[in-house]
Amino acid sequence: MDQDVFEMVKEFMENNIPFNRFLGMRLVTLEQGRAVMELPFRPELIGDPFRPALHGGVISTLLDTCGGAAVFTTLTSVDDRTSTVDLRVDYLRPGRQELLRAEARIVRAGNRVAVVDLCAYHPGGRDKPVATGTGVYNIRRAGDRTS
């Protein structure tokens, strides 16, 4: 992937989407059919104060956003758009008080729909995922939109 395209997508994902900016998500890798994002730990992101563990919604948001970034690599125009149709997340372990990484890989991308394999894990623990999932994304081509 061209460095200029990576920087454009990084800027968009990290700074132009207020919720992503609020959470502190960072786009680390963007390759054809693959994206990696990270989320630094903050105490405000704890969902279970007794463990303490990251909120499941924070984990699923990171996975969903990373999946959208991977789908972006399949688009043919910067004016194409994506939106989430379905997101399935299986929570396998509590998210610890440390950096969380998400990886998304395209399973199949057609003209209108993309399916993405998702995994969230702590650095060094790819073999012990916090959560896995599948994202299905709608692709709206620039030439197909009327509004």
CATH code, residues 3-144: 3.10.129.10
Domain range annotation of the chain = 3-144
For 93-124, what is each residue's pLDDT tens digit? 999 999 999 999 999 999 999 999 999 999 99
Is this model's pTM higher than 0.85 or not?
Answer: yes
Question: Per residue, what are the HEC states of the chain?
Answer: CCHHHHHHHHHHHHHHCHHHHHHCCEEEEEECCEEEEEECCCHHHEEECCCCEECHHHHHHHHHHHHHHHHHCCCCCCCCEEEEEEEEEEECCCCCCCCEEEEEEEEEECCCEEEEEEEEECCCCCCCCCEEEEEEEEEECHHHCCC
